[in-house]
Amino acid sequence: MIRAETKIRVRYGETDQMGYAYYGIYAQYYEVGRVEAIRKLGFSYKEVEQRGIFLPVIDFSVNYRKPAYYDDELTIITSIKELPRGVRIPFEYECYNSANELLNTGKVTLASVDKNTGKLCQMPDWLVQAFTPFFSK
Amino acid sequence: MIRAETKIRVRYGETDQMGYAYYGIYAQYYEVGRVEAIRKLGFSYKEVEQRGIFLPVIDFSVNYRKPAYYDDELTIITSIKELPRGVRIPFEYECYNSANELLNTGKVTLASVDKNTGKLCQMPDWLVQAFTPFFSK
Amino acid sequence: MIRAETKIRVRYGETDQMGYAYYGIYAQYYEVGRVEAIRKLGFSYKEVEQRGIFLPVIDFSVNYRKPAYYDDELTIITSIKELPRGVRIPFEYECYNSANELLNTGKVTLASVDKNTGKLCQMPDWLVQAFTPFFSK
Amino acid sequence: MIRAETKIRVRYGETDQMGYAYYGIYAQYYEVGRVEAIRKLGFSYKEVEQRGIFLPVIDFSVNYRKPAYYDDELTIITSIKELPRGVRIPFEYECYNSANELLNTGKVTLASVDKNTGKLCQMPDWLVQAFTPFFSK
């Protein structure tokens, strides 16, 4: 299992007129969490792209329980619970505020795409091998 | 059933370095679609808030099939397929590009919240009654 | 002179907790106005990039007089008042609400950059020649 | 003088198809810098609003020299160089990348607005007095 914890503070421009962090902003917050989870593999998402692989999102869902507010410091917990295989990397999320209240949970699936052809492709060996040690008994 | 069609053109600032419309931007596109669907009731979402009801999102999901690109004109089809009751209003989405390719599908559920207390509340009668004619045989 | 008028409706996600359209969103609104101004040349900004020229912003300023609110329909008036020469294209903006109140004015300067080298370059002839008819007496 | 340094990492969703951090995102980055500068006064911007004062932006300008890229760690230096008086608080900005290259400079002026009336108002004494010690000889 891979697990990363990321702190994010809600910006003013991310609030809406309800005074909540806008529901769509979690796409960005989850992405920041993903970047931290991938760094645990020993390289950055930026390097993944430089090696010729894009990882666009193919599935995204959020279940909202409570809103976040301006200036709240949120903790995003990003997990990969099963060894990614084939073309898909599944992430799970929990988002807490500083009172440790669970604000939302979510899922994101990335797909492996060849940067040159723009088509889905099996994850390259170097990527699968980077994941493997986190999932062996 | 309520069904609204909305045209949205992808802005430059909505693209990312893959050259795709950023996956999180569909939260905004779907919201614009929702606003048009609600206008069919004879009032605007703005008026809903003025009458004391917030409708925050409690569930949001997108399934991405193909990316949209800068300057693409997208068609967002927003549907409410069942009469909303209780606290929830469920929306379904399809997003097409100008070649009529289905780019993504999604779901959003809104919840009825009392603006003064900030708590979930049954939808008021005027709101339920506005929906009803669209769902009678 | 080139002059384009663009209608933009303020999205919910573009408001902030003051209930205003967030001050930073005008970067996007002005960009949409720019795209319309450039279409008057007979090609799109997208085609400019396809022909090998990026036009990044090098100067941006806004003077805010009144806020815009959710669901307001804004009119963005984009003008190029002098024939662009060398590396720079200067745009001027006025933004009005539907009551015809002037909400803000602004300026943006684009610079011509070679897509391959990433360096500033003189505007190519085809671009200068497209501008010229709008500025002859 | 008040001076605050803030680190911000460029998010994927903040890039555009040129591969640059979108020019409009600096509105948010500068705002984050402002929040840190205000915290030096002994209270947060959130508390300023809770005490009945909004501080909307009335002037905003950026001069761009070099782009920032995805995953870059930026340093935003926010300064107030003169004692704010009357209704205006002027901020100056410098934004550097991790190679210490100056990417852009900017200015933002905030205006003091009464939260209840929505109108410009003199800054209250508690706010002026919080600034004063930073500007005495």
Q: Are B74 and B8 in contact (CB under 8 A)?
A: yes
Q: Which of B23, B28, B58 sits opposite A57 (nearest CB)?
A: B23
Could you report the per-residue pLDDT of D10-20, keeping only the tens digit for each?
A: 999 999 999 99
Give the pLDDT score at D136. 79
What phi, psi does A136 have (nearest 5°)? Answer: -85, 155
CA–CA dist B30, B20 (Å, integer): 17
Residue B27 tokens read as 């939260």
Could you report the per-residue pLDDT of B21-70, keeping only the tens digit for each?
A: 999 999 999 999 999 999 999 999 999 999 999 999 999 999 999 999 99
Nearby residues of C1 by Cβ (< 8 Å), 6 or more positions away: C79, C80, C81, C134, C135
**pLDDT means per 10 residues in chain A (137 residues)?**
97 96 98 96 95 97 97 98 95 98 98 95 96 89
Chain D residues within an 8 Å CB radius of A11: 28, 31-32
ipTM of the complex in this document: 0.95
Predicted TM-score of the model (pTM) = 0.96
Chains that touch D (3 or more CB pairs under 8 A): A, B, C
What one-character DSSP code corresponds to residue C10? Answer: P
**Does B46 sit within 8 Å of C70, measured CB to CB?**
yes
Average pLDDT over residues C26-32: 98
Chain A residues within an 8 Å CB radius of C15: 16-17
How many whole angstroms from its chain centre is CA C61? 12
3-state class (DSSP) for residue C56: coil
Residue B50 class from Cβ within 10 Å (0-12 exposed, 13-18 middle, 19+ buried)? exposed
Confidence tier at D72 by pLDDT (50, 70, 90) = very high
Could you report the per-residue pLDDT of D74-95, keeping only the tens digit for each?
A: 999 999 999 998 999 999 999 9
CA–CA dist C44, C50 (Å, integer): 10
Average pLDDT over residues C81-90: 95
Residue D90 tokens read as 């002027």
Give the pLDDT score at D137. 65
CA-based torsion, C82, C84, C85, C86: positive or negative = positive
Provide the strand spans (E) within chain C: 2-9, 53-54, 57-64, 73-80, 88-96, 102-111, 113-114
Chains that touch B (3 or more CB pairs under 8 A): A, C, D
Average pLDDT over residues D98-122: 97
Nearby residues of C116 by Cβ (< 8 Å), 6 or more positions away: C52
What one-character DSSP code corresponds to residue C123? Answer: P
Give the pLDDT score at C136. 79
Give the pLDDT score at C137. 65
Q: Are B77 and B96 in contact (CB under 8 A)?
A: yes
Residue A62: its H or E element? strand A57-64
Domain D2-134 has CATH 3.30.930.10: no
Q: What percent of chain C has pLDDT over 90?
A: 98
Q: Are B25 and B18 in contact (CB under 8 A)?
A: no
What phi, psi does D34 have (nearest 5°)? Answer: -60, -40
pLDDT, mean over chain B: 96
For the cut 70, the answer to whether the pLDDT of residue C26 exceeds it is yes
